[in-house]
A and B are shown apart, each in its own frame.
Chain A
């Protein structure tokens, strides 16, 4: 069935360290993946996306890695800052969704940054 999951519900890191948030997905035919950040009381905010024809994409302080062999997605945040504290979601555009924009969300990982 369709599901996107995360390996850890909570990740605690020291300010300045790098963070790695993981996600496993089940639909091997999915062709589009997104990472979102959700701060308390706010809606999910787009961070970075990646298509299945790529295995790595970089943004400002963030990198998304896609391993289609093991159906694994990760988000790396460099030099983690207190403002990075939030819940992070991966989302998958499942097979057959076309341009409907249907996304299947994982359950979220809470990132806590210690000063």
Chain B
């Protein structure tokens, strides 16, 4: 009964490829997020959706495109992957913007 689940857990791919990461939450929350954690453990918000509407869009390259088909799902598609995209990507969810619950991350490695 995982609350926030992400797939895949590991993603190894070549530079220039396009890949997607999926996220689902079963907590009934109205808001979902994508974060990026770099090699120094710094965690930075990328996007946030509330009831399928984009509400936070930080300075992220256009190659990153989130999609929320319903409020329980938030996917992240990345085009033309670059070496600098290597990181751990976390999905999170919350109700009314508080106490965000995180998934266990997707470790993206670009060769």
Contacts and interface: CB of A to CB of B under 8 A. Distances in A.
Contacts of A34: 99-100
Contacts of B101: 46
Contact of A32 (B41, B98, B102): B98
Number of contact residues on B: which range applies?
Answer: 20 to 34
Give the secondary structure class of B's interface: strand
B110 to A, nearest CB: 20
A12 to B, nearest CB: 17
A100 B48 contact: yes
Contact of B42 (A44, A100, A107): A107
B104 A101 contact: no
Interface of A: 32, 34, 36, 38, 41-46, 49, 87, 89, 93, 97-103, 105, 107-108
Contacts of A100: 31, 48, 50, 55-56, 97
Closest CB pairs A-B (n = 6): A101-B97, A43-B102, A105-B43, A99-B97, A108-B41, A43-B104
Given A32-B98, A49-B99, A101 B48 contact: yes
Interface of B: 4, 31, 33, 40-45, 48, 50, 55-56, 90, 92, 94, 96-105
A69 to B, nearest CB: 25
Contacts of B56: 100-102
Given A44-B102, A101-B97, A105-B44, 20 more contacts: A32-B98, A34-B99, A36-B102, A38-B41, A43-B92, A43-B102, A43-B103, A49-B98, A49-B99, A87-B41, A89-B43, A98-B97, A100-B56, A101-B48, A102-B45, A102-B97, A103-B100, A105-B42, A107-B40, A107-B42
B100 to A, nearest CB: 6
Contacts of B100: 34, 46, 101, 103
